[in-house]
Structure 1
């Protein structure tokens, strides 16, 4: 007999397929918007400006100041540009940093958002906004930050460097992994989680071998979409709490932090609910999900040590203390010694289960 559950879908309009970036103008018409502000990071500014030029009169400008962890001061600057340009919507072109900025703007002025996803962040299909103010990262869950339309064009990911692909893909997998043991999990979200993980498990090694493999790039984008839907449907736990703590407090890069921490946070939680993580262990061909994820990440060239990102052993006490403040629900309760031991292994890149 199945356990009782509640499922509520929040998926925005999805436009998926090669060449779909050409449909941006049509999608603006569908939203009844005519004065779009294009958002990007400085790294993707040239692509954002090229998009703005193609859109012509329906685009009022480009703001290329998006950065990691969505600092509030950057959001306020973007809001001023939005107002000065008389924009009536935003187009977020890029990955998690740009998508986060678009959400932060919408949270404050309720503007419609169209996202053109160029990484595997997954946040484009969630009603979740993470933002940083004076070194503390907090999370808001509100339907006002959910984009109205998302365009997934695999061709835009062909040039994504393999290291960014791997880290972004593991970031997406983390969303789905936590969905499997979420307090409010349900059969639909769990099915999406395993389908998304399986797609990325197929795609990432293929991309590492051939970065412009069309089928693998399409599979990776499909998998990241499903993992993102899981993130937006059910609650997250220890893994996301730790990533927010390390990212917001120590300014660690978002995707790399997810990639390194995932096997270790899974090892901590798996001790309490091995049956819920058994499907991942089976997919990876291992006895434990944590070791399977660690070995998979190493095989595709992912980073493995937090110390390589700049974290030091002196930071672990502070990280543990912050993680225990307003902790997320987790199947295995958060305990200081266990959290610090987990972080020590992640700092050194030790394989979960090793002494």
Structure 2
């Protein structure tokens, strides 16, 4: 074996039922005295309970999907004006993403409290959208110094959003097996993450308020994100970044519908990855296991149900082709990428 693996420096706490105390400890450990809280209006009450007792100088709620550059600019200005010395994000991937955008230019440390399974909190990846194009990059300044996972905060996430978000996490596992910096450590993390998600998501659907299923899914989502942070963006994420930024499509649902089609394209030319995922799913093949999981949890199937139009496929193909990673196991052409996106649009059987 010959490879180079980067492990990102981050403190992670699984603190079910103890988010407020855990966040207070992490803020104190940073020596922070002026807290900027980032949370959407929908998460305002939850954020207030998580940050109760902290020296909050600013609560910022302009959270927008895909983090438009103008939104990031306003948040950065607000953080500077308030002289914030730590950012506490309470919410999903868009909320974490906005906190990262502020950290990217200000260097203010972030403490992340996720309420979905997006995984952004465990990566040094940032993303900004401008004029229909999403730009991403990696920078150590945006990696949250600490993450506090509290499974009780996930129980209010509706089942359909839990499923889409969990499949987004599973996409991190799958893409990590053939991304540009894939290595055996990433593969081990991704495999265990897939195993946990396959066990956790059906339990969440069966009983959304049960903690065990939520904890398993949180655990799997974290492992998935760590694998993704090291391995980089594979074909799946390149497709989803273009679709999300160019057409303003919902993040989690886009990942959930694209995932089976990318797996169907790549698995025949990635036998080791296929075997790993099949083992994690307890199925004869990775695709069979994924499709059984998707049936069990009632996954989103067609991207046309979420705003993607058939006439947008050619433009998407043209935008995706230049960013296809050379490491992708199956050569990507205009023809097979067009077929893939049409299948995503209509929700075709990936087999």
Query: TM-score of the superposition, structure 2-length normalised?
Result: 0.96
- TM-superposed CA distance for 1:130, in Å, is 1.5
Which of the residues 60, 72, 85 maps onto 1:88?
85
Aligned residue in 1 for 2:10: 12
Q: Which residue does the alignment assign to 1:126?
A: 123
CA spacing shift, 1:295–1:348, aligned 2, 3 Å: farther
4+ residue runs of structure 1 moved beyond 4 angstroms? none
Say if 1:120 and 1:224, in contact at 8 Å, map to a contact too. Answer: yes
The separation in 2 between residues aligned to 1:299 and 1:343, in whole angstroms, is: 24
Work out whether 1:208 is the aligned partner of 2:205.
yes
Aligned residue in 2 for 1:32: 31
Cα distance in 2, alignment partners of residues 103 and 351 from structure 1:
37
Counterpart of 2:278 in structure 1 is: 281
2:76 match: secondary structure: helix
Contact 2:261 2:340 in 1 (8 A): yes
Consecutive unaligned residues of structure 1, counting only runs of 5 or more, are none
Work out which of the residue numbers 142, 146, 150 in structure 2 matches 1:149: 146
Aligned equivalents of 1:347, 1:286: Cα separation in 2: 26
Equivalent residue runs for 1:1-355 within 5 Å:
3-21=1-19, 22-52=21-51, 54-56=52-54, 58-329=55-326, 330-353=328-351
Determine if contact 2:194/2:281 at 8 Å carries over to the other structure. Answer: no
Q: Give, in whole Å, the separation in 1 of the partners of 2:110 and 2:221.
A: 19
- Check conservation: 1:49, 1:62, Cα contact below 8 A: no
- 2:180–2:325 contact (8 Å) kept in structure 1: no
CA contact 2:39–2:63 (8 Å) conserved in 1: yes
CA distance in structure 1 between the partners assigned to 2:312 and 2:347 by the alignment? 16
Instruction: Specify the SS of the correspondent of 1:92.
Output: strand
What is the distance in 2 between the residues matched to 1:283 and 1:87? 43
SS at match of 1:66: coil
Distance 2:332 2:120 in 1: 25
Question: Mean alpha-carbon deviation: is it higher for 174-183 or for 67-76?
Answer: 174-183
**Does the aligned pair in 1 maintain the 2:23–2:50 contact within 8 Å?**
no
CA contact (8 A) 2:179 2:325 kept: no
The number of residues matched between the two structures is: 349
Structure 2 distance, partners of 1:249, 1:291, is 31
Task: State the distance in 1 between where 2:202 and 2:269 align.
Answer: 30
